[in-house]
A and B are shown apart, each in its own frame.
Chain A
Amino acid sequence: MTATDQLLFQGADWDFRTLQRICDACEQVARDELGLDVYPNQIEVITAEQMLDAYSSVGMPLFYKHWSFGKHFAFQEASYRKGLMGLAYEIVINSSPCISYLMEENTATMQTLVIAHAAFGHNHFFKNNYLFKQWTDADGILDYLEFAKRYVAHCEERHGRLAVEHTLDAAHALMSHGIDRYPGKKSLDLRAEEKRAGRRRAHEESAFNDLWRTVPAGKVKSDAILDIERRRQMLGLPQENLLYFLEKTAPRLRPWQREILRIVRHIAQYFYPQSQTKVMNEGTATYVHYQIMSRLHQQGRLTDGNFLEFLQSHTNVVFQPEFDDPRYSGFNPYALGFAMMQDIERIVTNPEAEDHEWFPDIAGKGDAMGVLRDIWANYRDESFISQFMSPRLMRHFRLFHLHDDPEERGGILVDAIHNERGYRRLRRELARQYDVGFIDANIEVVDVDLAGDRRLMLRHTVVKGAQLSEADAKRVLQHLADLWSYDVSLVETDGAGKVMKEYVANPRNIAVAA
């Protein structure tokens, strides 16, 4: 519209007017040419130390206090000072307004890249992807975190720092098992959560858990009062959300401890979509920044020099080392995601015969952005890869599949390579690597011995022979037992139900010793 053929900036320096100009230019491309739909943006310029700060509290601008964040900070600061680690260029928060942090050290080109990447790429993805819509409350999260911070501080005042710390330690240990994996229970409204917390405190401080009133005191009547089915139903068993289960039914937790479990659970839930969409999210943001930067360059608003600078960092970001490269540490989500987005664009606009066969719905459809926006809205990593990984890309990455069976003495089997026979298997196996249902150990509460010693019984269903690491499992169970206040047992069973290993933990009585 206006101001094309006019440079946004020259050289590497920037000031706040420049930033504003950059934002406006990016927004114009994002909205008018890419058709992106974003939350309002807020850009915050911060120092390197603040960036480290943000890192160590999982990228959130406000968070409750806990020693582990200090540990991460110290660790990251140490490696940053040694030059082992560069800082991320940006951190972006799934909130409305969407907050993007920019480091002050960045050059003007980098700021443009970051704004295009975070404030438009990630922002669009947060606002439109179904998982985020379903599981996160962008409007409420900042207030909720503020509430959580205040609440935890308040608990420390009332109940002592140590008691709160024990509870948080335990909750953190179970954090990855504090998630509802399937939607439908209720939509998330974090603002209401905050109000509810106050009411709950008032109520629960006077009431007690009705469930336990039904436990018969005498030995004589101790069995068969609650039949198994009814009991399991009342307890909502089996339950894979361990934090939820403890919050609702742990007999001796104080109300504030329940609230803390709930806070940790809500935060885990809030981050759950991010773990399922790493490839897509980064792919989207990288694709968007690439589009915007290229457009700005075409419009004459970036100099050739600035554009080259951009291309260099972009290339670094999407670099994928091969498996035998010492730098290899798994798939780079930026590389994989960006490659797939570009490949989809190619399939939509310039397909080959093979693509027509593999992707009849989108091949040659012509509207790359339309197709991509639709994909960004409706997939997560696992389904995205299993749908859209093309043979051409598998050849490009020279993918191969290894099957490692410890029983097999000879070595590791190359099960599939990038050829006609291998494509589908490769794609399925790669998609599986991103299937959270598959990555996390499948642990659920199966029963509680209500009539007896109130032992909590958990089961880990072993998949493909991968059992829990023993040292860690013992420590997590200890935390669990501390929260539950009675014995906790965990059995590991194989698919057929055969018990492979059994753990028992006794409570230490510190978590409730508030």
Chain B
Amino acid sequence: MAIHIVDRRLNPGSKSLENRQRFLRRAKALVQGAVKKSSQDRDIKDVLEGGEVSVPIDGMDEPRFRREGGTRDMVLPGNKKFVEGDILPRPSPSGGKGRGAGEGDSEDTFRFVLSRDEFVDLFLDDLELPDLAKRKLAEVESQGIRRAGYTTSGSPANISVSRTVSRALARRVALRRPRPEVLAALEAELKDCSDEARRAELMAEIEALKAKIRRIPFIDPIDIRYRRFETVPKPVAQAVMFCLMDVSGSMTEHMKDLAKRFYMLLYVFLKRRYRHVEIVFIRHTDRAEEVDEQTFFYGPASGGTLVSSALQAMHDIVRSRFRPDDWNIYAAQASDGDNSYADGEVTSRLLTDKILPVSQFFAYLEVGQENGLSYEMPNSSLWTLYESLRASGAPLSMRKVNERSEIFPVFHDLFKRRSQQERNAS
């Protein structure tokens, strides 16, 4: 009886994948909570790395009828000193679990690793990215098509006439297909000729030429050439995102947190759309500086407020490092809206003349106090200024945000508005 040995290692379809997805769907709320929590402590770039999340399996356990309590009898190994009739003290309640319970407990909560895509999906899903946005996201890497020489097969639409004709010509020449002038000349001679012998000779010659013409067609199927195309990955453009933030003393941690979430979302979104995304963090008080993420969100700073300084800094960076022809430029500005009165004029000029013409998208996010109501916020000086710019047609999107939960709707809103503008523009 021969024993059958099979190598299953190459079996592709992992059964676990489908079940894993079901599990994630089922645990969605839980996993999302965990993702949200873990994205709070992450840097913007790390959000896309996926990672380990801890999921409490509350409500994910599977109930069975179990018994507990009552009198218990146990036979155990390893008696060293007990004799019949001994009374042993009870172990503390926490340690005295049976083995069934012990096994179950360990599954109550566990950490597991989400892949990058799972993480981002859940991250975005939590924000209920609408279909509109998803379609856009799906277009991430379009395939370009380019000419790639000629081929002997293809669809009639792709026949290359010039190439086919030139090949036919070459063939006719090579095979010495009689030219029509030669035939015409012979026929003319025949018409005028009265010499019988010469006539017969001419007729034979004409006949032979005609036969040869028939044998060698003007265009043979082997001459036909089709234009060939091949798909090439279209080079995906690069994007740079400017995070501009007012860090003067009036910006609370809550406000920075709101801003960070907005930036994070914008980053994830851009990352899906472009192969290469750079982030530039600019913080400003009454003067601006480019900093790293850590300093941007957590570094202490204080001073007066000059919004124009940040815009000027952005403009300088764009000029030196990001040619608008090569880069899609995005900017998101977060501020509590305070600006010194004298700065309005400069800000307005910088925006209209320098920044907006080169930017794809400029979002202004006015962050407010926790528990505040966005529609109750009085219009700040910056808001009023931007409002007037927008009214005169500048491609500027602006929103007020007080609560974390508002971040996504605002993001979506801004995003939608922009595509509307695009449509209007075209």
List the B side residues contacting A398 at CB < 8 Å: 77-80
Query: A71 near B86 (CB under 8 angstroms)?
Result: no
Query: A429 near B110 (CB under 8 angstroms)?
Result: no
List the B side residues contacting A46 at CB < 8 Å: 8-9, 11
Q: Tell which of B17-25, B42-50, B412-420 binds the partner.
A: B17-25
Query: B3 near A402 (CB under 8 angstroms)?
Result: no
**Which residues of B1-38 are within 8 A (CB) of A?**
1, 3-9, 11, 14-16, 18-27
Query: B75 near A50 (CB under 8 angstroms)?
Result: no
Query: A49 near B6 (CB under 8 angstroms)?
Result: no
List the B side residues contacting A321 at CB < 8 Å: 78
| CB of B141, distance to nearest CB on chain A (Å) | 29
> Is B236's beta carbon under 8 Å from chain A?
no
List the B side residues contacting A177 at CB < 8 Å: 65
Q: Tell which of B66-74, B183-191, B278-286 binds the partner.
A: B66-74
Partner of B63, one of A24, A330, A422, A476: A476
- Given A78-B112, A422-B84, do A469 and B76 touch, yes or no (CB 8 Å)? no
CB-CB nearest in chain A for B18 = A65
- Given A77-B112, A104-B9, A412-B87, do A49 and B73 touch, yes or no (CB 8 Å)? no
A residues with a Cβ closer than 8 A to B are 16, 19-20, 23-24, 27, 40-47, 49-50, 52-53, 56-57, 62-63, 65-71, 73-75, 77-79, 81, 97, 101, 104, 119, 165, 169, 172-173, 175-177, 320-325, 328-331, 397-407, 410-419, 421-422, 426, 429-430, 432-433, 440-441, 443, 460, 462-469, 471-473, 475-476, 479
Query: A400 near B79 (CB under 8 angstroms)?
Result: yes
- Given A71-B60, A97-B4, do A325 and B79 touch, yes or no (CB 8 Å)? no
| CB of B261, distance to nearest CB on chain A (Å) | 28
| CB of A113, distance to nearest CB on chain B (Å) | 16
Cα–Cα, bound, A2→B387 (Å)? 95
Query: A75 near B110 (CB under 8 angstroms)?
Result: yes
Cα–Cα, bound, A57→B20 (Å)? 12
The 9 listed contacts between A and B (C-beta, < 8 Å) are A16-B7, A47-B9, A50-B8, A68-B62, A74-B23, A398-B78, A399-B76, A441-B65, A473-B66
Partner of B83, one of A62, A414, A464: A414
Query: A67 near B77 (CB under 8 angstroms)?
Result: no
Cα–Cα, bound, A418→B82 (Å)? 10
- Given A53-B16, A413-B85, do A406 and B1 touch, yes or no (CB 8 Å)? no
Partner of B71, one of A175, A404, A469: A404
Query: A415 near B16 (CB under 8 angstroms)?
Result: no
Kindly list 7 other residue pairs between chains A and B, CB separation below 8 angstroms, not including A46-B8, A70-B23: A41-B3, A56-B16, A78-B112, A165-B22, A402-B72, A422-B84, A433-B75
Query: A414 near B87 (CB under 8 angstroms)?
Result: yes
Query: A399 near B79 (CB under 8 angstroms)?
Result: yes
CB-CB nearest in chain A for B76 = A323
List the A side residues contacting B65 at CB < 8 Å: 176-177, 440-441, 443, 460, 468, 472-473, 476
CB-CB nearest in chain B for A81 = B113
| CB of B98, distance to nearest CB on chain A (Å) | 8
- Given A16-B5, A466-B68, A466-B69, do A397 and B78 touch, yes or no (CB 8 Å)? yes
10 smallest CB-CB distances across A and B, nearest first, come from A322-B78, A70-B23, A466-B70, A465-B70, A70-B19, A475-B63, A323-B76, A400-B79, A67-B22, A466-B67
Partner of A411, one of B14, B18, B87: B87
| CB of B16, distance to nearest CB on chain A (Å) | 5
> Is B201's beta carbon under 8 Å from chain A?
no
Partner of B77, one of A20, A79, A323, A433: A323
- Given A414-B83, A469-B67, do A43 and B16 touch, yes or no (CB 8 Å)? no
Partner of B5, one of A20, A322, A323, A328: A20
List the B side residues contacting A415 at CB < 8 Å: 73, 84
| CB of B174, distance to nearest CB on chain A (Å) | 59
CB-CB nearest in chain B for A422 = B84
List the B side residues contacting A74 at CB < 8 Å: 20, 23, 110, 112
| CB of A376, distance to nearest CB on chain B (Å) | 20
- Given A23-B5, A43-B3, A432-B73, do A412 and B88 touch, yes or no (CB 8 Å)? yes
- Given A400-B82, A433-B75, do A75 and B90 touch, yes or no (CB 8 Å)? no
Partner of B76, one of A47, A77, A175, A400: A400
Query: A73 near B62 (CB under 8 angstroms)?
Result: no
Query: B110 near A78 (CB under 8 angstroms)?
Result: yes
List the A side residues contacting B82 at CB < 8 Å: 400, 414, 417
Query: A45 near B19 (CB under 8 angstroms)?
Result: no
> Is B111's beta carbon under 8 Å from chain A?
yes
> Is B89's beta carbon under 8 Å from chain A?
yes
Cα–Cα, bound, A401→B83 (Å)? 10
Number of interface residues of B (CB under 8 A): 61
Cα–Cα, bound, A411→B7 (Å)? 57
CB-CB nearest in chain B for A473 = B65
List the A side residues contacting B4 at CB < 8 Å: 40-43, 97
Query: A70 near B24 (CB under 8 angstroms)?
Result: yes
- Given A19-B5, A104-B9, A398-B80, do A73 and B70 touch, yes or no (CB 8 Å)? no
| CB of B66, distance to nearest CB on chain A (Å) | 5
Query: B110 near A402 (CB under 8 angstroms)?
Result: no
Query: A67 near B5 (CB under 8 angstroms)?
Result: no
Query: A176 near B8 (CB under 8 angstroms)?
Result: no
Cα–Cα, bound, A104→B9 (Å)? 8
Cα–Cα, bound, A77→B24 (Å)? 15
Cα–Cα, bound, A330→B63 (Å)? 23
List the B side residues contacting A410 at CB < 8 Å: 87
> Is B117's beta carbon under 8 Å from chain A?
no
Query: B112 near A472 (CB under 8 angstroms)?
Result: no
| CB of A137, distance to nearest CB on chain B (Å) | 21
CB-CB nearest in chain A for B52 = A78
Query: B73 near A401 (CB under 8 angstroms)?
Result: yes
**Which residues of B85-114 are within 8 A (CB) of A?**
85-90, 99, 102-103, 106-107, 110-113
Query: A330 near B3 (CB under 8 angstroms)?
Result: no
Cα–Cα, bound, A222→B1 (Å)? 67
Cα–Cα, bound, A104→B10 (Å)? 12
List the A side residues contacting B107 at CB < 8 Å: 71, 75
- Given A400-B76, A411-B90, A430-B75, do A45 and B70 touch, yes or no (CB 8 Å)? no
List the B side residues contacting A79 at CB < 8 Å: 106, 110
Query: A67 near B73 (CB under 8 angstroms)?
Result: no
Query: A78 near B73 (CB under 8 angstroms)?
Result: no
> Is B57's beta carbon under 8 Å from chain A?
yes
List the B side residues contacting A404 at CB < 8 Å: 71-74, 90
List the A side residues contacting B423 at CB < 8 Å: none
Interface core residue of B66, B82, B89 (most chain A CB under 10 Å): B66
Query: B3 near A414 (CB under 8 angstroms)?
Result: no
Query: A40 near B1 (CB under 8 angstroms)?
Result: yes
Query: A402 near B16 (CB under 8 angstroms)?
Result: no
CB-CB nearest in chain A for B7 = A45
Contact flags (1/0) for B234-249 with A, using CB distance below 8 Å? 0000000000000000
Query: B75 near A417 (CB under 8 angstroms)?
Result: no
Query: A467 near B5 (CB under 8 angstroms)?
Result: no
Query: B87 near A45 (CB under 8 angstroms)?
Result: no
List the B side residues contacting A45 at CB < 8 Å: 5-9
- Given A70-B22, A70-B24, A465-B70, do A421 and B62 touch, yes or no (CB 8 Å)? no
Query: B64 near A476 (CB under 8 angstroms)?
Result: yes
Partner of A399, one of B8, B23, B75, B102: B75
| CB of B6, distance to nearest CB on chain A (Å) | 5
List the A side residues contacting B19 at CB < 8 Å: 56-57, 65-67, 69-70, 73
Cα–Cα, bound, A172→B63 (Å)? 9
